[in-house]
Amino acid sequence: MTDRPIPPRSEVPQELTWNLLDIFPGGDEAWLAEYEALKSLPEQIAAFRGTLGRSAEDLLRWFRAQDEASIRLGRLYGYASCKGDEDTGNSTYQDMRAKAIGTLVAISSAAAFATPEIMAIDEDTLNLFYAAQPELETYRRSIYQIRRRKAHILSPGEERLLASAGEMANAPEHIASTFRNADLTFPDVVDGQGNTRQLTDGTFVPLMMSDDRVLRKNAFDAYYKRMGEFKNTVAATLDGQFKQLKFFADARGYSSTIEASLDNTEVPVPVYLNLIEAVHNNLDKMYRYVALRKKMMGVDELHMYDVYTPIVPDADAAITYEQAKETVLEALAVLGEDYTDLLKEGFNNRWIDVYENIGKRGGAYSSGSSDPHPYVLLNHKDNLDSQFTLAHEMGHALHSYHSNKYQPTNTADYVIFVAEVASTCNEVLLMRHLLSKTTDKKQRAYLINHFLDQFKGTVYRQTMFAEFELTMGRMAESGQALTADALSEKYLALNKLYFGPDMVSDDGIALEWTRIPHFFYNYYVFQYATGFSAAVAIANRILTEGAPAVADYKKFLSGGSSTDPISLLKIAGVDMSSPEPVNSALKLFGELVDELESLL
């Protein structure tokens, strides 16, 4: 890993930043003009009240107006959000993000009458509407999505009230993000040679990947000691998060927060519960991997600060951003020239914000908005992990690109259950490509260990997070407060269960829940595990069947939310209503552990 000094935003070379002028060529001034223009939109929307069931033409006009509003709001929020993430300490852009959220809430509140009105149209009348105005067929899926949840839709006044509460509901996540990215700082740490190293939220995991065990332990201890100083604050924000989830679930007549969340995306609750059960039934494979890691590292005790560092460190090599791009293009060539041409367009036309700068949001993501194209945030380090992150996030970006290109506005946005499939499929294809290029035992062992770490981090670890999130939801639903001590006790117990007897669950790991932003995403993390399992199956089909599998996969990428997520994945040849994809992925994990042991 090559250390880079972390510069202020003003010193980052322009070619390594995203070009947000593609959204608003006039920059901040154009954004502010659009913000002012959108202030009249709630009044324009309110003018539709009482008309939606009047005629097919009125209903069509409503949906077209919604499409236009969606596009404009997506650009408004997308620009402000990305600018805010460039430097979370920049108050100007935090204010713009807040203004954008306020606009979204105001427009959502103004449109609250629509769902009850569409629900009130009787089936015979709706069928006559479709016959009278064929262009309404474009919105049949959206109309179905509204009407299928009839039992959970309230009166117009109640819907207005819930919509207006949206800004308050976003507060826990916003507070946690601001604290973590703008206010939270860490002390420098010392490595095994006595050198001082900078510890930030962005450098923590790369430091955990170091072959310097003294550095890893010092970074681990310093990070969680600091988080422990704020554990009550983070717990309070999580308590607020689950209280607001419970409020909305109760208001809409759901039996639990998880049922309310998964119903939004048409994912049956048993899929979530079955994932946890399947992983519990396969923890023996995880325990074998942990035991092998302990053996290969030659340590008397394996600690939580030992789980990221490669166990074949001599095979680790610096991978520049330019090299990472080239390798990703090679690996994804199996998806066709049209796919790699889009990758090149993103690489060459500043879709990507590459390196960490002071105040920049940590982690990586692809923006949900794809108008005029997706944007990708990275905090790139010159290592293998960042190469995989590049492939992952560009998988998201091109999924969004395909869905927006081939779907109408109302079905262009895919649901989160399928969101991690394209990204992880890219990672699996990259790994298979790298393994195909070497017969060197040490290099193969290094790559297989990295792949196993992906499995560990995506299937086992994310399922552990999902189980912890389910626990938090059940605590909130039973009236139990989410205190720091209660959360730490439950998290430590889960960590011991998932890592097994050969892992020392250090005291600090009980506080790991304080650093996981996804706990504010409303039952999101389980989909990393299900998505990884689906991606393994899809990648295997692409590599074995070729063109027909690629064609089916691109139909999936282009599907948006045109049907439910289980049906979308069936297009790509994967049935997630069955436990087979998860079991198959975990079987492969076990086989890879065996191969790694034989290589070492």
Q: In what order do the strands lie in the sheet with 376-377?
A: 352-353, 376-377, 365-366
Q: Catalytic: 11? A: no
Question: 294-323, pLDDT tens digit by residue?
Answer: 999 999 999 999 998 888 766 767 999 999
d(CA 137, CA 118): 15
Residue 197 to residues 193, 205, 222: CA-CA distances in angstroms? 11, 13, 12
Strand segments, DSSP code E, in 284-351 are: 302-303
Question: What angle do helix axes 91-110 and 27-37 make, rounded to 10 degrees?
Answer: 30
What is the mean pLDDT of the segment spanning 573-595?
89
What is the mean pLDDT of the segment spanning 332-356?
97
Backbone angles phi, psi at 174, to 5 degrees: -65, -40
User: Of the candidates 432, 596, 458, which has an alpha carbon nearest to the alpha carbon of residue 534?
Assistant: 458
Question: 65-102, pLDDT tens digit by residue?
Answer: 999 999 999 999 999 999 999 999 999 999 999 999 99
Tell me what pLDDT residue 1 has.
43
Q: Is 352 helix (H, G, I), strand (E, B) or coil?
A: strand
At residue 546, does pLDDT exceed 60? yes
The C-alpha angle 235, 240, 244, rounded to 5 degrees, equals: 150
Q: Judge residue 185's burial from the number of C-beta atoms within 10 Å of its C-beta, 0-12 exposed, 13-18 middle, 19 or more buried.
A: exposed
Tell me what pLDDT residue 584 has.
85
Answer yes or no: are the C-beta atoms of 87 and 358 closer than 8 Å. yes
Q: Is 44 helix (H, G, I), strand (E, B) or coil?
A: helix
**Domains identified in the chain and CATH numbers:** 9-169 (1.20.140.70), 185-229 (1.10.287.830), 318-436+524-589 (no CATH)
Residues near 271 by Cβ (< 8 Å), separated by ≥ 6? 262, 530, 576, 577
Tell me what pLDDT residue 316 has.
67
* Strand 196-197 relative to strand 189-190, pairing: antiparallel
Q: Residue 2: which pLDDT band, with cuts at 50, 70 and 90?
A: very low
* DSSP code for 202: T
Reading the block at residue 278, the tokens are 């399947």
Residue, of 14 and 583, whose pLDDT is higher: 14
Question: DSSP states of 368-419 as a string?
Answer: S--SS---EE----SSHHHHHHHHHHHHHHHHHHHHHHHS-GGG-S--HHHH
Tell me what pLDDT residue 400 has.
96
Residue 95 to residues 82, 90, 148, 313: CA-CA distances in angstroms? 13, 9, 37, 45
The one catalytic residue in 393, 420, 427, 469 is 393
Reading the block at residue 489, the tokens are 């006790």
At residue 149, does pLDDT exceed 90? no
Question: 230-257, pLDDT tens digit by residue?
Answer: 999 999 999 999 999 999 999 999 999 9
What is the amino acid identity at position 351?
W
* Strand 376-377 relative to strand 503-504, pairing: unpaired
The pLDDT > 90 percentage for the chain reads: 83
- The average confidence (pLDDT) of the chain is 94
Reading the block at residue 266, the tokens are 């048409």
Answer yes or no: are the C-beta atoms of 464 and 494 closer than 8 Å. yes
d(CA 24, CA 306): 46
At residue 3, does pLDDT exceed 80? no
Question: 177-229, pLDDT tens digit by residue?
Answer: 999 888 999 999 999 999 999 999 889 999 998 999 999 999 999 999 999 99
Q: Is 305 helix (H, G, I), strand (E, B) or coil?
A: helix
At residue 576, does pLDDT exceed 90? no
12: left (phi over 0), alpha (psi -120 to 50) or beta: beta
Q: Examine residue 372 and say whether the peptide bond preceding it is cis (omega within 30 degrees of 0).
A: yes
